[in-house]
Copies of this chain bind each other. A is one copy, B any other.
């Protein structure tokens, strides 16, 4: 059972607005990562483009969602686990992008392995993105 939308917003010290409720609900309804364009499309003309941008930024800052890097120059957003706190993300899981259907998955159960870096390099964050064929698109 999923956490109440209003409670989630309150927990992160955000005031309750229509756009925040709606956009958060999109993430709770979707098992996969969403792009800004997806949200814009889902919400139709209900919210201004700018509002969506600002809402997504706010959610990232508060640790509700996190960004996923992709090779094709688009930003994707997905819900954070509960351990994520404002300004301090713990997204040490692998992301998977399907080349066929373009869906992006958070593989929460696959953790990112530690890599050994050359001398003088210190890692703060590690992003592992795998692309290929997902379980819906395999033949």
Contact = CB atoms under 8 A, between A and B. Distances in A.
Interface of A: 67-71, 73-75, 94, 96, 99, 107, 109-110, 112-113, 115-136, 138
A125 B123 CA distance: 22
Contact of A127 (B116, B128, B134): B128
Contact of A135 (B69, B74, B96, B120): B120
A104 to B, nearest CB: 12
Given A119-B135, A123-B131, A127-B131, 6 more contacts: A69-B71, A69-B129, A71-B75, A120-B134, A126-B131, A129-B129
B119 A130 contact: no
A100 to B, nearest CB: 10
A127 to B, nearest CB: 5
